[in-house]
Chains A and B, each alone.
Chain A
């Protein structure tokens, strides 16, 4: 039902200037909000970007990881795990990842490919061949998150240090 038309001069029209002014005001506030959303996205608060990049663990130590604080549901992303000197023993590095993390994602591939994967209770252990254990190497997990909200990530070296961090996943 269209609001009652009123007489404006010689014509009848459902004009309501009070409503119209409020509408214009809200419209302009919303433009500012839209601009802020775009700026936040550029800064990385809604996904990849400078403010999203984060590191867990100390750079140069035996184990540290680079990840994004903010990610999106089913958006392709990576976590890069750096293995410092001494992470590999007898030519192999054993990196475990929390099972709940793997279950929350669609794991596309790991660079380099692990030699084998072992299921060990609430963990998956990925075994990588390491050519030179005295140098830093890195392993990259390429995946797409399959859930919304906060996703905890835990990973570590078998019998060594572990890292625990979280990612926030937008729907």
Chain B
């Protein structure tokens, strides 16, 4: 019984923590943040497994975690309200070439982030070539260049 409760508590705690840390943190993972993730997983693992190193306990925890994930995906599929809160929504930060500064500040995104996405995704050179920039649900920035949308 203990391991199921532990698994659930840890699952929802991590869900909330990663959600409130903001989108930028996960998608922007630098090598340091990768190390941070490894430390987090190690810390979590010890609290979750406790001192019970049996296979039964391991199986139970894995089933609990995967089961919760499946259950949540089912709920999200049926109820858009849950999806909105659990995954977030995309939002536009560049609209017809105009920057939405306030949204960018709230999401901790600056022009260089947009330019980086523009370069890597579309090979663009300047900000005025970006017609739309959207922060997707996973935190990554997608770009619609001026030329293509005019075609």
Which residues of A are in contact with B by a Cβ distance under 8 Å?
1-4, 8-11, 13-17, 19-20, 23-24, 26-27, 30-31, 34, 74
Known pairs A13-B91, A30-B16 / 16 extra A-B pairs, C-beta < 8 Å? A1-B77, A1-B79, A1-B80, A1-B83, A3-B83, A8-B92, A10-B149, A11-B134, A11-B149, A14-B89, A15-B89, A15-B92, A16-B84, A17-B91, A20-B89, A27-B20
The answer to whether B106 and A24 touch across the interface, beta carbons within 8 angstroms, is yes
Per the bound structure, the CA–CA distance linking A74 and B132 in Å amounts to 53
Q: Which residues of A contact B67 (CB under 8 A)?
A: none
* 24 chain-A/chain-B pairs, Cβ below 8 angstroms: A1-B77, A1-B79, A1-B80, A1-B83, A3-B83, A8-B95, A9-B95, A9-B96, A9-B132, A10-B96, A10-B144, A11-B92, A11-B149, A13-B91, A13-B92, A14-B90, A15-B89, A15-B90, A15-B91, A16-B84, A17-B91, A20-B91, A20-B103, A27-B20
The answer to whether B20 and A30 touch across the interface, beta carbons within 8 angstroms, is yes
Q: Which residues of A contact B78 (CB under 8 A)?
A: 1
- Nearest 6 interchain pairs by C-beta: A30-B20, A3-B80, A24-B106, A15-B91, A27-B20, A8-B92
- Any A CB within 8 A of the CB of B88: yes
Provide the main secondary structure of the chain B interface.
mixed
- Tell me the nearest residue of chain A to B95, going by C-beta: A9
- Tell me the nearest residue of chain B to A33, going by C-beta: B20
Size bracket of the B interface: 20 to 34
Q: Which residues of A contact B149 (CB under 8 A)?
A: 10-11
The answer to whether A10 and B132 touch across the interface, beta carbons within 8 angstroms, is yes
Provide the main secondary structure of the chain A interface.
mixed
- Any A CB within 8 A of the CB of B138: no
Per the bound structure, the CA–CA distance linking A36 and B80 in Å amounts to 32
Q: Which residues of A contact B84 (CB under 8 A)?
A: 3, 16, 19
Given contact pairs A10-B149, A27-B22, A1 touches B76 in the complex (Cβ within 8 A): yes
Give, as a whole number of angstroms, the nearest-CB distance from A31 to chain B: 7
Give, as a whole number of angstroms, the nearest-CB distance from A148 to chain B: 11
Among A10, A23, A27, find the residue whose CB has the most chain B CB atoms closer than 10 A. A23
Q: Which residues of A contact B16 (CB under 8 A)?
A: 30
CB contacts under 8 Å to A, within B55-113, are 76-80, 83-84, 88-92, 95-96, 103, 106-107
The answer to whether A16 and B89 touch across the interface, beta carbons within 8 angstroms, is yes
Give, as a whole number of angstroms, the nearest-CB distance from A6 to chain B: 10
Q: Which residues of B contact A26 (CB under 8 A)?
A: 20
The answer to whether A11 and B90 touch across the interface, beta carbons within 8 angstroms, is no
The answer to whether B89 and A31 touch across the interface, beta carbons within 8 angstroms, is no
Per the bound structure, the CA–CA distance linking A9 and B144 in Å amounts to 12
Among B20, B51, B83, find the residue whose CB has the most chain A CB atoms closer than 10 A. B20
The answer to whether B89 and A19 touch across the interface, beta carbons within 8 angstroms, is yes
Give, as a whole number of angstroms, the nearest-CB distance from B78 to chain A: 7
The answer to whether A2 and B83 touch across the interface, beta carbons within 8 angstroms, is yes
- Tell me the nearest residue of chain B to A14, going by C-beta: B89
- Tell me the nearest residue of chain A to B105, going by C-beta: A24
